[in-house]
Amino acid sequence: MLHRKGQGTTEYLIILAVIIVIALIVVGVLGWIPGVGTGITQSQSQAYWASTSPFAMTQYEVFSDGSTAPIIVLRNQTSNKLTLTDIRLTSTSLATTDTEFTGGSEKSAVNATAIDCGNSTDPYSYDVNISYSRTVGGSTLNLTQVGIRPLVGVCT
């Protein structure tokens, strides 16, 4: 009987290559590698923004008509009094009026700027920057909360 030297090694390498390819596909689908995954879903976005600090976004809705300002409800996750000064969705400033939030309070962010997110049922994704101020020892600090995940949803 002929003995094939290296046949066992070759089979082992092929099996190892298949396992590595499957592992890379799983990692990409789960989004562990930036730019490889399918992106963030609306439920993932809602969960992320409901847990951010100092401001959590407990509700949001963007309208397709282009003339209605988005509805954004924020909650102050800290025990400090914070003053919301602006919310920026990607490059659009919503020009909120300064709104004070006591510790733990939840309010609708009053704004005047509408965003046209497309047609009804079109998906949207916005990067979010929240500008606010806090008074510490008589000095006012102007701060910004930058979201590491976008605000994702469907136009209403």
Please check whether residue 1 lies inside any domain of the structure. Answer: no
- Listed in sequence order, the residues at least 6 apart from 67 whose beta carbon sits closer than 8 Å to its beta carbon are 114
11: domain range?
A: 7-39
State residue 142's pLDDT score: 92
The CA distance from 142 to 153, in Å, is 29
Averaged pLDDT in 10-residue chunks for the chain of 156 residues: 66 89 79 54 89 92 81 91 90 83 88 79 89 90 91 88
Together in a domain, 56 and 103: yes
The verdict on 31 and 46 lying in the same domain is no
> What confidence score (pLDDT) does residue 36 get?
46
Answer yes or no: do 82 and 132 share one domain: yes
pTM for the model stands at 0.70
Q: Where is 19: in which H helix or E strand?
A: helix 7-30
What's the rounded Cα separation, in Å, for the pair 149 and 44? 9
Q: In the chain, how many domains are there?
A: 2
Is 142 contained in some domain?
yes
- Decide if 2 is inside a domain: no
Q: What is the pLDDT of residue 34?
A: 52
- The residues pairing with 135 across neighbouring beta strands, listed in sequence order, are 140
Determine the pLDDT at residue 1.
53
Which pLDDT score, from 0 to 100, does residue 131 have?
93
> What is residue 111's predicted lDDT score, i.e. its pLDDT?
73
